[in-house]
A and B are shown apart, each in its own frame.
Chain A
Amino acid sequence: MSPLKISWKSLWSKPLSAALNMMLIAFGTGILTILLLASNQISEKLENNSKDIDLVVGAKGSPLQLILSSIYYIDFPTGNIPLKEAMELARSPFVKRAVPLALGDNYNGLRIVGTDTNFITLYKLKAAQGKFWEKDFETTIGAAVAKTQNLKVGDKFYGAHGLTDNADVHKNHEYVVSGILEPQGNVADNLILTNVASVWKMHDEHEDHDHEAEKHNHEDHEGHDHKAPTEVQANEESRELTSLLIQYRSPMSVAMFPRLVNETTNMQAASPAQESTRLFSLIGIGVDTLQWFAVLIMLIAAISVFVNLYNSLKERNYDLAIMRTLGASRTKLFMIVIAEGIMLTLAGTVIGVLLGHLILEFIGSNQESGQAQLTGFVLLYDEIYLFVAGLAIGIFAAIIPAIHAYRSNISKILAKN
């Protein structure tokens, strides 16, 4: 019979206190697992979404808000920028690629993004079904949009004004699904892409819709468009975009271009890398707090395992002495006690890691927004440190009782009874 079996049997002779200790360890490890997986996935998503974007140009305001609205599609945009000025920046020699974004509408909370083919190149999008948008009011939808909204190629839907609710539906024009994207693993999965003109037209209609008196003038709007190029021209002057995603031509642009934007125009430039880091450091405070909380629980668990082993050792003094008379060496007793500690904490760690994964998967599958969908079914290399920690706590908690067992004077113990 191996020392391991003796330790195992001894643990199970007191199932309640063994279970309590395992639960404490599992709770601590579970929290750490969730934190580890979630913060890893969030930072990965943040990076993944802003990977190829060097700079975002938008209306003055909070740079973080600009990044959140234009790259992660979470917050509201800072405002609009004039199309003319934006296009001047886009033609700057510092810029390799500029992607216009026109936001403002949603369909069941999913954002409708007016943009051009540069967006496709930037995010390296591929259509799984159908084709990319070409004409006005044609849309290409993300894989997650198709799935959650049950949309197929050829389906029609109405957009609603605003970014979140369905209160103000644009009934004048309906969008047509012309294509569905392959799953990208980034924000594009949750977007409805169309051309910028569609968004503009939708809002022309919208404003007209507000002015009931003028409504009849626009009943035959389509006709007007073709016949009156001047009107389009005039509109062109007052056209606006939400923001512009910029890819630099050369590293040198990093130093020059943001200053150019901030100083010579009425717009602001925000760097996704900088803002993401800032955002993550804000989240990081919460993560740190939870982390310390989990470490505290682990510490309490370690003390609890120690007390448990120490107390059971007092009761088992005689048992251990008997084992010595049966031929067990001091080292063997030491191993038996250490093994008990390690078994408790390792079992707790395994349960905790499993629970952490399951809970995160549960949280992920119940998430409302698909922007940063979390999943529990990933293994990280870093999780190995959790097991190392479990092992260390086991040894830490068991070492004093084990030394006691090693040093015990069996003649004294046996003589007492």
Chain B
Amino acid sequence: MISLKSVSHQYPGGLRIAFKDWQINNGDQWLLLGESGSGKTTLLHILTGILKPSAGDVQINETSIYNLSAKELDQFRGRNVGIIFQRPHLIKSLNISDNLVLAQSLAGLPTNLNRVNEVLTSLGIADKKKSYPNELSQGQLQRVSIARAVINKPALLIADEPTSSLDDKNATAVLELLLQQSGINQATLVVATHDKRVKDAFTNTYALS
């Protein structure tokens, strides 16, 4: 279970945003809606433990994440939160398989090549294992970034504008994969977007005003 309680954030410029309390049950699939500049990215960063809010408490599975030390928080994030960015951002110097192994080892988990194969197969890109990021298409790269997000079976899967740079066909495909992967890995899914094409797939919506 993930919960946000009386969280607010003050920007260095002086602008202050208060966020409504939010409770997400395990396995839920949520849509985080908001126009650009509404604090969507800020909320996502707070939720993933990248940005400490000025006030309030964030809990993921009964752990109050901002009470952890910096190092503990980094490791907690690596193990419990999977993040998919608008653009894939894989490590260019590593091949696809190594990019996933890197995610395992940075989270402090042992290398598990079976798991790497399993995830890549379920996303239909097992044949690209030895390729380097610059040899793959944008759609394939987005799949790899989903694979990297779910490799450690995180409790929370967060996607930030995962479809906005893709065409309709790829956007639908990626959305389906996200829903499917969160199901397979029993991860709670939060998709932040202003993309209208995505809306219909979700029943739960958290809207920023």
Contact = CB atoms under 8 A, between A and B. Distances in A.
B124 interface: no
Interface stretch (A29-37, A159-167, A321-329, A366-374): A321-329
A332 B70 CA distance: 12
Interface residues of B, number: 34
Contacts of B77: 325-327
B91 interface: yes
A405 B195 CA distance: 34
A408 B98 CA distance: 24
B106 A328 contact: yes
Interface residues of A, number: 25
Nearest to B90: A322
A326 B78 contact: yes
Interface stretch (B16-24, B54-62, B79-87): B79-87
A232 interface: no
A1 B93 contact: no
Interface in A319-341: 319, 322-332
B107 A327 contact: yes
Contact of B71 (A6, A9, A329): A329
A410 interface: yes
Contacts of B79: 327
Contacts of B48: 325
A12 B92 CA distance: 11
Contacts, number: 79
B45 A415 contact: yes
Contacts of A417: 85-87, 89
B163 to A, nearest CB: 16
Contacts of A13: 92-93
A326 B76 CA distance: 9
Contacts of B101: 1
A9 B86 contact: no
B9 to A, nearest CB: 10
A318 interface: yes
A329 B77 CA distance: 10
A325 B83 contact: yes
Consensus secondary structure, chain B interface: helix
A411 B93 contact: no
Interface in B72-130: 74-75, 77-79, 81, 83, 85-87, 89, 91-94, 98, 101-108, 111
Contacts of A327: 74-75, 77-79, 103, 106-108
Contacts of A184: none
Given A1-B98, A327-B108, A410-B50, A322 B78 contact: no
A325 B148 CA distance: 11
A411 B9 CA distance: 13
Contact of A332 (B51, B86, B106): B106
B98 A329 contact: no
Nearest to A327: B78
A319 B90 CA distance: 7
A414 interface: yes
Given A13-B92, A326-B103, A414 B98 contact: no
A10 interface: yes
A330 B72 CA distance: 11
B74 A329 contact: yes
Given A1-B111, A9-B98, A414 B78 contact: no
B41 interface: yes
B89 A318 contact: yes
Interface string B31-69: 000000000011001001011000000000000000000
28 contacts: A1-B102, A1-B104, A1-B105, A1-B106, A6-B91, A9-B94, A9-B98, A12-B93, A13-B93, A318-B89, A319-B92, A322-B85, A325-B50, A325-B81, A326-B77, A326-B102, A326-B103, A329-B74, A330-B71, A330-B74, A410-B50, A411-B51, A414-B45, A415-B41, A415-B42, A415-B45, A417-B85, A417-B86
Interface of A: 1-2, 6, 9-10, 12-13, 318-319, 322-332, 410-411, 414-415, 417
Given A326-B103, A414-B50, A417-B87, 20 more contacts: A1-B102, A1-B104, A6-B94, A10-B93, A12-B93, A13-B92, A318-B89, A319-B89, A319-B91, A322-B91, A324-B50, A325-B81, A325-B83, A330-B70, A410-B50, A411-B45, A414-B41, A414-B85, A415-B42, A415-B45
